[in-house]
Amino acid sequence: MSIERSFHAARGLACLALLSFALSSCSSPAGGGSPDDPATPKIYAATSVGLSVSSDGGATWTKYDSTDTEAFYSDYVDDVLVSGSAVIVGLQNGGGLALSKDACTTWALYSYVAGNSTSVGSNTIYGLFLDGTKLYAATNGGVSVGSLSDGVISWTTYNQTNNGLASDGVYNVYKDGTTLYAATWLGLSISTDGGESWSSPAAPPTAEVNGTILDVWASGSTIYAATYEGLAISKDGGASWTVASSATTGFSAGAVLDLYVSGSKIYAATEGGLSVSSDGGSSWSTFTAAQGLADDEVNGVFALGGTIYAATEGGLSVSSDGGVTWATFTFADASGGNAEVCGVFVQ
């Protein structure tokens, strides 16, 4: 079973449930690299001015925004997720969710419709997760679940009132086995029955007064919780927590906006740089603008094949040597400055 996780910055039209519009094709299939070099991964950058896609390691980019298709009701792309030829983007500013099932050739818009119980939970989409064909959307109205195998996605939304979610505001969602995790405005929620009911574990010590969780990752009984005050790790399913973001261990200062975990390696995108641990969070190396990042504030992070991709306020920074050197790709905004890169996905 294919499991895909999107990487993003955690932040804060009622219309038909599905609208399809034509868009010019991406330069190569979403599932692979460029035609000349299949080993070259395809990079998807979610930016404040649209979705930018590169098939040649960042040398050239194709941009998708509201000037190309009405499915992009907002140009502010907060998140992007790709699986095979399916490209899914979560939009801010009331944009809803845009989906292409044919590698960017055509797009469909999914938006919240008041009174329609099968529409997506909100027009503000913060995070995405895909398990096989089942798509989970973290929204401003709860956790919405739909299937990519449907001709028209029919959504089921789980929320605070009906299902016990800690808050309807959900920054991200993660699934490990049969357990579903939701990072909400008011704490971490866990479901073992597909979202029908939720429980809330003890609040991580790094959580602020209202318990906001900005991102969550899990593997077995280990849970990683990103908060405004740092990173906390639980080894017992949330019963107890250890602070992993102490400055004495080399961790960056500020809120943790995004996580990527692979075995004992942890990547934490923070307001003060990118912190990387190779020993499960005991010690950290932090990379900032002083080491070549486009900006100290890192909104999202992705790692693939030894290459690190950091989505920052000033552009997309990429390192193939463990952070020793960085190459940065920028995307112009309307004022001629560098647009914010909110998240990145590589396939």
> Distance between CA 274 and CA 267 in Å, rounded?
7
298 alpha carbon, distance to own chain's centre: 13
Q: Residue 253 gets which letter from DSSP? A: S
How high is the pLDDT of residue 9? 37
pLDDT digits (tens, 9 = 90+) for 85-129: 999 999 988 899 999 999 998 999 999 999 999 999 999 999 999
> Distance between CA 139 and CA 307 in Å, rounded?
30
How high is the pLDDT of residue 35? 32
pTM: 0.89
> Distance between CA 54 and CA 57 in Å, rounded?
6
Run means of pLDDT, 10 residues per run, the chain, 347 residues:
51 28 28 44 97 96 90 93 94 92 92 93 95 95 93 91 98 98 97 97 86 97 96 96 94 95 96 97 97 98 96 98 97 94 97
* Amino acid (1-letter code) at residue 339: A
> Distance between CA 38 and CA 328 in Å, rounded?
22
Q: What angle do CA 316, 318, 323 make, to 5 degrees?
A: 130
CB 106 within 8 A of CB 22: yes
Residue 282 sits at φ, ψ, to 5 deg, of: -75, -35
36 contacts: CB under 8 Å, gap ≥ 6 = none
Region at 305 (left for phi over 0; alpha for psi -120 to 50; beta for the rest)? left
How high is the pLDDT of residue 38? 42
Burial 93-131 (b: 16+ CB within 10 A, else e): ebbbbbbbbebbebbbbbbbbeeeeebbbbbbbbbbbbb
How high is the pLDDT of residue 4? 66
How high is the pLDDT of residue 69? 82
* Amino acid (1-letter code) at residue 170: V
How high is the pLDDT of residue 123? 95
CB 303 within 8 A of CB 285: no
Q: Is 161 helix (H, G, I), strand (E, B) or coil?
A: helix
DSSP code string of 63-82: EE-TTT-TT-S-S-EEEEEE
pLDDT digits (tens, 9 = 90+) for 312-341: 999 999 999 999 999 999 999 989 999 999
